[in-house]
Amino acid sequence: MLYPHIFPRGPIELVVLNSCKGEGLARLLHEEAQVPYVIYWKSAVVEANCVHFAQLFYPMIHGCMTKEASASQIVPRTFEAVKEELMHTRRSHNSISTARSALSHEDFGLYEDLILLERGQGPVEELMHT
C-alpha cells in the first residue's frame, strides 16, 4: 500500500502509465501497492498515440473529478469514452487513403493495447475491441 502520510490528500486512486509496455509496473502498482485503477499500454506505442490519449483523457477526468464523484464512478466510464473516441479516430484515419497511406498501420493500430486494471478485476482489455 502506498503510505497515506506521503500523500496528504488520501490514497492514490489512479495511476496512468502513458508509455510503452507498462504491464509489469501496472500490475505491481495495482496488486502490491493496491492502486485501484491503473491505465497502461501493453505494447510499444508511438508518441502521437500517447499524446492523443492524454489530450482526451486528462481534461475529461479533471472535469469529472471537480464534480466530487468517486473514482469508481468516474475512471471506468471516462476510460471507456476516451478509448471509444481513440478507436473512432483510428477508423477515420484508416479510411483516408491520401497522404496518410504513407504512414504505417502501427501509427494508428495500437489503441486496442490501452488497458485499464480495475479494482477487484483483472484487466478490462476487450471493452472496445473491434
Least confident of 5-9, 35-39, 58-62, 83-87: 5-9
Share of the chain above pLDDT 90, in %: 45
Q: What is the 3-state secondary structure (H, E, C) of 83-126?
A: HHHHHHHHHHHHHCCCHHHHCCHHHCCCHHHEEEECCCCCECCC
**What does the pLDDT average to over 89-95?**
62
pLDDT tier, 119 (very low <50, low <70, confident <90, very high otherwise): confident
What is the pLDDT, as a whole number, of residue 100?
42
Q: Do residues 34 and 1 make contact, with C-beta atoms less than 8 angstroms apart?
A: yes
As a whole number, the mean pLDDT across the chain is: 77
Closest to 16 (Cα-Cα) out of 29, 32, 1 = 29
Amino acid identity, residue 12? I
